[in-house]
Amino acid sequence: MSKINRIKGFADLFPPESTAYVFMEETAREVFSRYGYQEVRIPVLEHTELFARSIGQETDVVQKEMYTFPDRKGRSLTLRPEATAGVVRSYIDSSFSGAGMMAKLFTFGPMFRYERPQKGRMRQFHQINAEIIGEDSPWSDAEVIIMLWSYLKKLGLQSLDIEINSLGCAGCRPGFHNSLKAYLKMLDQKALCSDCRKRSESNPLRVLDCKVPGCRDMMEDAPRINSNICAGCESHFETVISMLESFGLKYYLNPNLVRGLDYYQRTTFEVISHDIGAQSSVAGGGRYDGLVGSLGGPDVPGIGFACGMERLALLLQDLNDRPKDFYLAVLHEQALSKGLLLAQRLRDKGFSGDMGFQVRSVKAQLRQANKMGVKTCLLLGIDELEKREIQVKDMETGVQKTVGQDDVEQALGLNIKGKNNNFVRKG
């Protein structure tokens, strides 16, 4: 039979890579819950219109990157290219919105974008999303950014830069659009890519985000949004910035940071790593004040971010699963059943470990224990079975001693330090 291949741009994740994903998720749960966030789980498949309306018809994501197909009844469905639209839809459907409550929600999971795969860019990739819906205070922007930063620090990451910008609001954006349109009109239209020619009229902000080098060059002298925002947006932005300064967070103002999704207003930000190649943005986010209303919900604001787990995983390659606490080597057929019960008792007490289901030589089983990196190997032969004992071998010192079967927990306990932490750094 021929082998069935994986889809291009989709990956299987095994340890140690998958270890990094578990570490990122567990750390996010721990950190975000301290800020009052609750975990939501939402579908990966949504009506296409959700993304077209929220991310925006003119964006690369909607125009070129979505996995869209009809279901069996001909309805257009899309594998989510990002999570914010789905979280907002779920908020609107939930009791939070009915009660007009502020919601702090986070979610993890796979996203799908038909992009050209390369290091740090996949067609199925994973995000950690955090969103605050129902709060427009600049202090919430600051808290979101500080939480993201604290999370990345808790992962042990260093050498990251944070870039920040304000995109103005529904009030001041039209004025900026007009000056951008006037600038675009002065340019040689033929030198712009075909997408940008269309976007010059319909959505000029997207031209600022174009990745085609020719368009980029032509936009170098374009008007900057941060010098065109209204007094309200300016004071909002200044409060955010001054809070980041009080926190001691070094940021870079980037007036070109427009982000690739249409729903953003006011504060936008990205976290950049210089250690992972061209796909350097490890997290991005911003405020989306008109989004909930535009998706049929109450007119409430929102802000959030998403971390790209593939990119963070590139920075967490030194992470390993903590070795198991024990390996139980059974040295005689008659000891298998006792061995399984003993291993179960230890696991019930919170120890982690494995046992060999085949009776093999002591040498072979010690080799196996060594390979697993366990600190302790337990050896159970016919003699031990009869005497209700077990051999406990410290794999580091090589010291082996006989203990009663009722005392294994104590013997293991003495041999294991820091049992509550599931992850270790290599080296």
Binding site for ligand HAM (CB under 6 A): 82-84, 113, 115, 120-122, 125, 127, 129, 131, 260-261, 281-286, 304-306, 308, 310-311
Nearer Cβ to ligand HAM (109/356): 109
Cα separation values, 1 from 6, 263, 396, Å: 16, 48, 46
Nearer Cβ to ligand HAM (167/369): 167
- Please, what is the minimum distance in Å from the beta carbon of residue 42 to ligand HAM? 13
Nearer Cβ to ligand HAM (152/306): 306
- Please, what is the minimum distance in Å from the beta carbon of residue 140 to ligand HAM? 13
- Please, what is the minimum distance in Å from the beta carbon of residue 248 to ligand HAM? 23
Nearer Cβ to ligand HAM (180/271): 271
Nearer Cβ to ligand HAM (122/379): 122
- Please, what is the minimum distance in Å from the beta carbon of residue 264 to ligand HAM? 7
- Please, what is the minimum distance in Å from the beta carbon of residue 215 to ligand HAM? 19
Nearer Cβ to ligand HAM (272/336): 272
Which residue of this chain has its Cβ atom nearest to ligand HAM in the complex? 308
Backbone angles phi, psi at 31, to 5 degrees: -70, -50
Instruction: Give residue 49's identity as a one-letter amino acid code.
Output: E
- Please, what is the minimum distance in Å from the beta carbon of residue 305 to ligand HAM? 5
- The residue behind tokens 């929220």 is 54
Write the CB contacts of 201 (distance below 8 Å, at least 6 apart in sequence).
Answer: 181
Closest alpha carbon to 36 in 130, 128, 100: 130
Q: Which own/partner pairs from 62-67 qualify as long-range (CB within 8 Å, at least 24 positions apart)?
A: 63/195, 64/114, 65/113, 65/114, 65/115, 66/112, 66/113, 66/114, 67/112, 67/114
Residue 107, strand partner residues: 129
Give the C-alpha separation, 252 to 242, whole Å.
13
